[in-house]
Amino acid sequence: MTRPEVAEKQPGLLHFPGIAHFLVVIIFTGIEIVGLVKWLALSNGTDPSTVLGQAYSILQLGGIFSRTGAAGFAAIILAVFLLVEHIITQVDATGRFVSGKQFVEILIFSSLESAIWLVWLELIPVNGLLAFTFFLAALFVEHHVADNVKKSLPFLKLSSTRLVFTGLLILTVSEVIGAVVWIGNQNLLAVLIAGSLIEHYIARNVGLIR
């Protein structure tokens, strides 16, 4: 009589990935935080040369700024930071360099996330509840897409796994709370950092759940 196959044990949402992977999580969390801080400063009308330093003149970004305006330029800069973050996330999750198809997918959902932050910021003075609801729902969808790309699943596939759904919801709420508190009081950057770190920590574990 043969032994029945034992299902592979899935990692929990709080599974510790080891020191090396945890350091990677800290690194791409830092990249996102820097991108968000620069995005908000640009969105608030701070001189781009002050926010971006010499990179603004070296990369000749003035032309882009003049064509897109402060909000559009800020969204582009944020998208670049998110793209770098998501590429590192993908490599950490899969152990492989991204393929051409994955790069395009990552570019799409990085741009989508940047647009979500932009729309949310614009909605806040219009209707706070509407802004919060949009932000939560839109980020949940974007996180779902990002998880699908990690697992080489169809771009818009809805998860049928309760643990994945729960994890995506928790990490989205964590990021939203951190962002809302930060926007409300920019002296509380630590709350944004904590929310983003929890988000990325759980997201890595969710990415391992099949």
Question: Which parts of the chain have pLDDT scores under 70?
Answer: 1-8
- The pLDDT of residue 7 is 47
What separation in angstroms does the CA of 172 have from each of 48, 141, 164, 195?
30, 9, 12, 9
DSSP assignments along 112-165, one per residue: HHHHHHHHHHHHTTT-HHHHHHHHHHHHHHHHHHHHHHHTT--TTPPP--HHHH
d(CA 23, CA 54): 29
How many H helices and E strands in the chain?
8, 0
- The pLDDT of residue 158 is 80
- The pLDDT of residue 4 is 41
- Contact between 145 and 112 (Cβ < 8 Å): yes
Alpha-helical regions (H) of 44-61: 48-52, 54-58
Which residue in the block uniquely carries the two structure tokens 């779902």?
144
DSSP 18: -
Reduced to 3 states (helix: H, G, I; strand: E, B; else coil), residue 78 is helix
- The pLDDT of residue 190 is 97
Buried/exposed code over 55-75 (b: 16+ C-beta within 10 A; e: otherwise): ebeeeebeeebeeeeebebbb
- Contact between 199 and 175 (Cβ < 8 Å): yes
Each domain of the chain, given as residue ranges in start order, spans 19-206
d(CA 39, CA 209): 32
d(CA 163, CA 209): 8
Tokens (6 digits) for 113: 């996330």
